[in-house]
Amino acid sequence: FSALGGFKGVVYTDFILFFTAMAGALGAAYYLVGLPEVGGLEALLQHENVVGKLNILPDFSNTEALITLLIIPLAVQWWSSWYPGAEPGGGGYIAQRMLAAKNENHAIGATFFFNIMHYALRPWPWIIVALASLVVFPDIASIHKAFPLVAEDKLGHDLAYSAMLTKLPSGLLGLVLASLVAAYMSTISTHLNWGASYVVNDFY
């Protein structure tokens, strides 16, 4: 559809793919927070494994956290300056979509809409599942039980989200997998169209 639909086709399908991705993420978050081990959102936020992770500011008396306090701002600055399409001045595919808007007001409105949906809304289902994983899979040993065939040197807390997905019923798991594929397709179609615009305008 990237080749046949062109830029307009990519934009239209991005809406479908985005809402498919959100449906899977929200469905997983809703189901997993309702697990008996988690006990709902209120119980989750009061669980001893979670409470310490919810502080907006870290404990400054903890000297071990000082290195983290130094690294995180530097890493965020690097990430925000490098992340493709989200550079401080606006990346290639963001600029492409702004320039394709009907007028300046549409471009500004679309950019605001993108930032709200992409940065304020989209991560929350993942964050909720991650917090629930602190209750269901509090340590590496519990993750190893979910993935007994994974080598121990490959086990880490980054597998907790995948481990949580093993708790989903088959139908909802299929929706989540479809949502992940939708997110991947959206990214690929955007970059194919963006790259093609460079080839057509700058080389051909």
- Identify the helix (H) or strand (E) that includes residue 43: helix 41-46
Tell me the average pLDDT across 37-66: 81
* Full DSSP string of 169-203: -HHHHHHHHHHHHHHHHHHHHHHHHHHHHHIIIII
pLDDT score for 89: 58
More confident of the two residues 61 and 188: 188
Q: What percent of the chain has pLDDT over 90?
A: 32
Q: What is the mean pLDDT of residues 108-115?
A: 90
| Residue 101 contacts residue 110 (beta carbons within 8 Å) | yes
Average pLDDT over residues 66-89: 67
Would you state the structure tokens that stand for residue 122, as one six-digit string? 């989209």
Share of the chain above pLDDT 70, in %: 89
Asked if pLDDT for residue 53 goes beyond 60, the answer is: yes
Question: Cα–Cα distance between 192 and 196 in angstroms, integer?
Answer: 6
Q: What is the pLDDT of residue 71?
A: 76
Residues 133-147 pLDDT 10s: 999 998 888 888 888
pLDDT digits (tens, 9 = 90+) for 126-182: 999 999 999 999 888 888 888 888 888 888 888 999 999 999 999 999 999 999 999
Q: At what angle do helices 92-99 and 170-198 cross, to 10 degrees?
A: 80
Token pair of 154 as six digits: 């490959």
CB atoms within 10 A of CB 27: 18
Question: Each residue of 2-42: pLDDT tens digit?
Answer: 777 888 888 889 889 999 999 999 999 999 999 999 999 89
